[in-house]
Amino acid sequence: MISIPQRLLGEALLKTAEKFPDKTAVIFKGTEHSYSQLKDSAEKTASYLIEAGIKKGDRVAVYMNNSWQSAVALYGITLSGAVFLMVNPQTKADKLQFILKDSGSRILITESRLRNEFVRAVEGTEVFNILLNGPVPDIEIENVSLSGFEEILEKQKKIDHKVDVIPNDLASLIYTSGSTGFPKGVMMTHESMVFASWSLIEYQRLDEDDRIILVIPLAFDYGLYQLLMSVTIGGTLIIEQSFAFPSSVYKDIEKYKPTVFPAVPTIFAMMIAMNKKSDLNFPCIKKITNTAAALPAKTIPDLKKVFPEALIFKMYGLTECKRVCYLEPELVDEKPSSVGKAIPGTEVFLLSVDDKPVPAGEPGILHVRGPHVMLGYWNNEKLSKEMLRPGKLPYERVLCTNDWFKMDEEGFLYFLSRNDDIIKTRGEKVSPVEVENVIYKKEGVKEVAVVGIPDEIMGESIIAFVTTYGSELQEKDIQRICMENLEIFMVPSKVIFLNEMPKSPNGKIDKKVLTKMALENE
């Protein structure tokens, strides 16, 4: 019998469930769920969505903490032919409402504990149905029905349906912070996500014996792909809600013996600190991966103490193409400052500001070519054209990252700097404009400017500069309003009050001067 290659995202689950029906697919809160259970639950979810009126290409949003149910929801949506959005559960009502409106989402899958946010967020959107994990509250939302997700998984009958989706169709919208203050919906097709999954699996040397522990949000594409890769190879995913309680994560590592630990520098820094106090180490881990922010070269020896048997994969990527490059772990000591070469099946090159090739050792803007590049930004043709530039072939488009790199004679890449205002902190992208808009809501604030400065642990730390109308505002007042309206990673770590903002000749706030002041204030 001819083996048909995977074309669509959901086919990975169908193929793996057929091959390993009784194997553990997901472990969550001490309960093991098999591949047959994941497939059955996902198919019931897909059947419910179709009966509810969801059609090919409709958008369905998932606004949940990491859980067994969020994995089921993702595969249920993709098997229905719809497009999924994974929204960070820390997202507040205003931003959630923007995402729901911008995407045109029809159904929201969420959890009862987030009711204070989603009840306000769905107003004025196209959402007509909310599936709730947990108790269904006795509330009424105009033109919106509420259903219990668990009840659907128990009682929903599966229906035979043929989804006429092809690889060119959208699989997901991945929302990421934009420099305008509004999130951008990155359009990823089935083709691009399937390709990216297999390319990552290849260079990370993953196979069916791997057990991946997930401590990163599924709403972050780095976390999302851990689920996709694990299902594709027939591995096991150990889902943690977060790394907020490290001791709980450490207990699960000891209990379930994962072999792969994906994380960001903030998490690794916490583990290194614990190792120095208590000799924390996990020999069961055979591979660790790092992205979102550069892993400082000087941390590598300490990481090896925490993970004495692990290969260390340093990587660089951005949501618009998932992953750009990686460094072979055997070269981590030889080229400690490099983020490596292009992932398998793709190409990278550097161009000057006037689109000319740059010689080895000279700085240039990184461009990415391959099937993993996004289709564009949802509802934003102007920005799509800015990021997707003419390629090497007629009508081809390549991704201009706007990030500055150097490439050595052997083709290894070295990150230099970003070319936009986006701050990368704790593995997340933060728009300064979004933080500034929230601070402006505080009574007494005159002007605000938010900048990021390098931080070995967080990648960048967020600094807010504020001028007032003579009010007695304090740092805690600014941080409080941010905590009330933004995800926790977006809250400034420091607030500096000024009498006047430095201005450029055209009257704009001079952020270069402020960044210098922030560095001097450290």
Give the residue extent of every domain in the chain: 34-189, 423-520
Q: How are strands ordered across the β-sheet holding 170-176?
A: 145-148, 129-133, 107-111, 59-63, 83-87, 170-176, 184-189, 376-377
Whole-model pTM: value is 0.88
In this predicted structure, the answer to whether residue 505 has a pLDDT above a threshold of 70 is no
143 vs 469, which has greater pLDDT? 143
Find out whether 287 and 204 touch, Cβ atoms under 8 Å: yes
Collapsing DSSP states into helix, strand and coil, what is residue 62?
strand
Read off the pLDDT of residues 13-33 as tens digits, 9 standing for 90 and up. 999 999 999 999 999 999 999
User: For the residues 447-474, what does the mean pLDDT come to?
Assistant: 89
Cα gap 375→386, rounded to integer Å: 13
pLDDT of residue 299: 81
Q: Give the C-alpha distances (Å, rounded to integers) separating 17 from 66, 127, 235.
A: 22, 32, 11
Number of H helices, E strands in the chain: 15, 27
In this predicted structure, the answer to whether residue 421 has a pLDDT above a threshold of 80 is no
User: For the residues 434-449, what does the mean pLDDT come to?
Assistant: 89
Cα gap 383→402, rounded to integer Å: 13
| Residue 36, number of CB atoms within 10 A of its CB | 15
In this predicted structure, the answer to whether residue 1 has a pLDDT above a threshold of 60 is no
In this predicted structure, the answer to whether residue 218 has a pLDDT above a threshold of 90 is yes
Cα gap 198→202, rounded to integer Å: 6
The amino acid present at 488, given as its one-letter code, is I
138 Cβ contact list (under 8 Å, min separation 6):
none
pLDDT of residue 222: 94
415 vs 281, which has greater pLDDT? 281
Q: Look at 3-7, 25-29, 341-345, 400-404 and tell me which has the smallest mean pLDDT.
A: 3-7
Q: What is the mean pLDDT of the chain?
A: 93
309 Cβ contact list (under 8 Å, min separation 6):
283, 284, 285, 286
**Domain 423-520 - what CATH class?**
alpha beta
User: For the residues 286-301, what does the mean pLDDT come to?
Assistant: 82
- Long-range contacts formed by 30-39: CB under 8 A, 24+ apart: 31/68, 33/68, 35/234, 38/13, 38/71, 38/72, 38/75, 38/231, 39/13, 39/14, 39/75
User: For the residues 35-62, what does the mean pLDDT come to?
Assistant: 97
Smallest CA-to-CA distance from 297 within 312, 310, 309, 279 is with 312
Q: Look at 442-446, 448-452, 455-459, 515-519 and tell me which has the smallest mean pLDDT.
A: 455-459
Q: Tell me the pLDDT band of 507, cut-offs 50, 70 and 90.
A: low
User: For the residues 490-501, what does the mean pLDDT come to?
Assistant: 93
* CATH fold of the domain at 34-189: Rossmann fold (3.40.50)
Strands (E), 291-432: 311-316, 325-327, 341-342, 347-351, 364-369, 376-377, 388-390, 397-407, 413-417, 423-425, 428-430
In this predicted structure, the answer to whether residue 504 has a pLDDT above a threshold of 80 is no
Counting residues of the chain whose pLDDT is more than 90, the rounded percentage is 76
Q: DSSP letter for 330, please.
A: G
Read off the pLDDT of residues 142-184 as tens digits, 9 standing for 90 and up. 999 999 999 999 999 998 888 899 999 999 999 998 766 789 9
Q: With b meaning 16 or more CB within 10 Å and e meaning fewer, what string describes 323-362?
A: bbbbbbbeebeebeebbbbbbeebebbbbeeeeeebeeee
The helix, strand and coil proportions of the chain, stated in percent and rounded to the nearest 5, come to 35, 25, 40
In this predicted structure, the answer to whether residue 292 has a pLDDT above a threshold of 90 is no
In this predicted structure, the answer to whether residue 190 has a pLDDT above a threshold of 90 is yes
* Six-digit token string for 257: 């013996």
pLDDT of residue 173: 98
User: For the residues 246-271, what does the mean pLDDT come to?
Assistant: 93
**Phi/psi-derived region of residue 143, left when phi > 0, alpha when psi is between -120 and 50, beta in every other case:** left
Distance linking the first and last C-alpha atoms of the chain: 65
pLDDT of residue 30: 96
Find out whether 365 and 353 touch, Cβ atoms under 8 Å: yes
Q: Tell me the pLDDT band of 431, cut-offs 50, 70 and 90.
A: confident
pLDDT of residue 179: 64
Smallest CA-to-CA distance from 102 within 184, 25, 157, 4 is with 184
In this predicted structure, the answer to whether residue 115 has a pLDDT above a threshold of 60 is yes
* Six-digit token string for 9: 């995202």
**DSSP strand pairing (83-87 vs 107-111):** unpaired
In this predicted structure, the answer to whether residue 98 has a pLDDT above a threshold of 90 is yes
Cα gap 499→58, rounded to integer Å: 51
When mean pLDDT is compared over 158-167, 227-236, 238-247, 296-305, the highest value belongs to 227-236
39 vs 428, which has greater pLDDT? 39
Read off the pLDDT of residues 359-417 as tens digits, 9 standing for 90 and up. 999 989 999 999 999 999 999 999 999 999 999 899 999 999 998 899 999 999 998 87
